Amino acid sequence: MARVIRTGAHGYILYGWETSNFGTVAASINRAFGLKTSIGTLSLTNNRIDLGKLGQVETAAYAYGQQSGSISVNYVLADSVTSGSETSGDIFRAIFGAPTGTVYGGLTQGSTPKVSESMTIDVGFETGEDSYVSGHTDYKVRTLQGCVLNSLSISTAVNDVVNVSTDFAFGIENAPSKSFSAPTITCGNPYTFAHAKLKLATGTETSVSEITLVQDTDLTFTVNNELLYGLASNQARSSFRRMLDITGRFKVAWSDWKLYERMLAQIGKGSSGNRESNISTQSEGTVELELKFTNGTKSITIELAGISFTDFAVSGIEPVEPVYQEVNYKAKTAQVTVDTT
């Protein structure tokens, strides 16, 4: 009998939160990332230390240093996953910690946890070892412990779904286990560009209003987690995080001068005055950009404060073609509200 070639249809991926300690296998590993989930890369590295000796150029011996791994997971944002009691928005816990009610993070300084919550990720694949003998399918499960998020990007464009890309580092992987059944994974409805709305405080405005004719947008949270090692083990013992970096961009058909005015006003060169002086008088945590996805009664709202345009470009200046403005920006703080009702 010909060997069965494994495809993504033979596997699954789920995660759970390590609520007790970093690297301790999560009590429940039953959360799906979203729809159309794919694994970009899954890499495990045993750092080999080569040792030489006098009298030869060959490696005389070697030892193993720290074990490290990485995994990238891509998926489509969904309004409900697994049991239907949570959404793809639960991933923001990896940045902002457990939510307060329905809100992750906060717009005031110091709201973001100084240590990221880790997760356990299970990646299971059919082995085919006993399928023809005992009438069931075996799954070999790789359990990745101490997974911490390094980056998360959300993007969408006209005539597209809302795509999410994530990159994790993990510090612990032991021998795979065996399971005799695949978990039941259910996902709700996907979010698309038609469910998205972008609002921004433009010009000298201090409240957000919708920007129409947005062609595409993306938002990236770079968490900058690093694994921490210690004596007595080559596996990670903990993790720590460096500065959170929030960057984004959007492309919009040019219909007025407000975005251009804001870019100039940041350095006091705009005709409407110095916007930065207006920002400094606002109370801390004022929402300046809002990206919201709404599907029926369910929604995910991302609010950003401390917005600064870093680049403004105009493209597509051609006869009888729309002219597009493309803006890159950075933010200081963020909060995410996930409504599953």
Residue 110: the pLDDT is 86
Region of residue 135 (phi > 0: left; psi between -120 and 50: alpha; otherwise: beta):
left
Split at pLDDT 50, 70, 90, the class of 119 is: very high
* DSSP characters over 134-147: HSS--EEEEEEEEE
The residues, ordered by sequence, that sit 6+ positions from 198 with a Cβ below 8 Å of its Cβ are: 210, 211, 214, 217, 250, 289, 290, 291
Judging by DSSP bridges, how do beta strands 214-222 and 245-253 pair with one another? antiparallel
Residue 4: the pLDDT is 63
pTM of the model: 0.89
pLDDT digits (tens, 9 = 90+) for 20-39: 899 999 998 988 999 999 99
* Contact of 108 with 285, CB cutoff 8 Å: yes
pLDDT digits (tens, 9 = 90+) for 242-297: 999 999 999 999 988 888 888 887 766 555 555 455 444 444 578 899 999 999 88
Residue 297: the pLDDT is 87
* Residue 13 backbone dihedrals phi, psi, to 5 degrees: -145, 130
Region of residue 55 (phi > 0: left; psi between -120 and 50: alpha; otherwise: beta):
left
Q: Give the separation between CA 173 and CA 148, rounded to whole angstroms.
A: 14
Q: Give the separation between CA 311 and CA 328, rounded to whole angstroms.
A: 5
Split at pLDDT 50, 70, 90, the class of 216 is: very high
pLDDT digits (tens, 9 = 90+) for 71-115: 999 999 998 776 555 677 899 999 999 999 999 999 988 888 888
Residue 333: the pLDDT is 94
The residues, ordered by sequence, that sit 6+ positions from 219 with a Cβ below 8 Å of its Cβ are: 153, 154, 155, 246, 247, 248, 291, 302
Kindly tell me if the per-residue pLDDT of 132 is higher than 50: no
Kindly tell me if the per-residue pLDDT of 309 is higher than 70: yes
Residue 133: the pLDDT is 45
pLDDT digits (tens, 9 = 90+) for 316-325: 788 988 999 9
